[in-house]
A and B are shown apart, each in its own frame.
Chain A
């Protein structure tokens, strides 16, 4: 299935834009997608951390994805 992914901050620069699409196996989890992203964009692995949010909530690695989810790459936050 196709997953739409938002990218913010330095992740936007690493991924080459503020949104991207990736093809993942049906029943893929957030952890699977994170691994795919790290393979496709090795510089993500060089960050202090990167998390995924699914539908505006930080996602545990075992969170199941569906094609309608809004997924976002969350590099280390630095607000305030």
Chain B
């Protein structure tokens, strides 16, 4: 399987992610784009600030792609994650997966984003008008 992992402080190139998984043997490409939402629990969000333990995060994202390939017959997976200051509507993460048939692509893509949110050492701070919160830090 082709795996392409990247963490960048520049805007993510969604079309490039799709191009990386576009292969003659692919019958379906599934793409997940995580974007910055304008509210959290009714409060207006001004911006998000992402920070990564970059070297470990890249390893963990590779591991996710390898686990996905072990579970489903997928051909290629690209995971790009953004760091730094993001504004409403910006893409924070792009996951593109190709497979011969759509079911594997859908399932592998869902697995990848669900697992990334649990295991990859990346953190986001939500900044509101009246303060800021590291997401998920406290029970």
Q: A53 near B56 (CB under 8 angstroms)?
A: yes
The tally of residues in A whose CB lies under 8 Å from a CB in B reads 21
Number of inter-chain CB pairs below 8 Å: 82
| B128 on the A face (CB < 8 A) | no
Q: Give Cα A10–Cα B132 distance, bound, in whole angstroms.
A: 11
Q: A56 near B137 (CB under 8 angstroms)?
A: no
Nearest residue, chain A, Cβ from B59: A56
Q: A8-B51, A77-B120, A79-B117 are in contact. Are A48 and B136 (CB under 8 A)?
A: yes
Q: Is the interface of B mostly helix, strand, loop or mixed?
A: mixed
Specify which chain A residues have a CB less than 8 angstroms from the CB of B57 in the assembled complex: 79
Specify which chain A residues have a CB less than 8 angstroms from the CB of B135 in the assembled complex: 78
Q: B137 near A10 (CB under 8 angstroms)?
A: yes
Q: B123 near A75 (CB under 8 angstroms)?
A: yes
Q: A8-B123, A10-B123, A48-B139 are in contact. Are A78 and B56 (CB under 8 A)?
A: no
Q: B134 near A77 (CB under 8 angstroms)?
A: no
Q: B122 near A78 (CB under 8 angstroms)?
A: yes
| B43 on the A face (CB < 8 A) | no
Residues of A within 8 A of B (CB): 6, 8-10, 12-13, 46-48, 53, 56-58, 72, 74-80
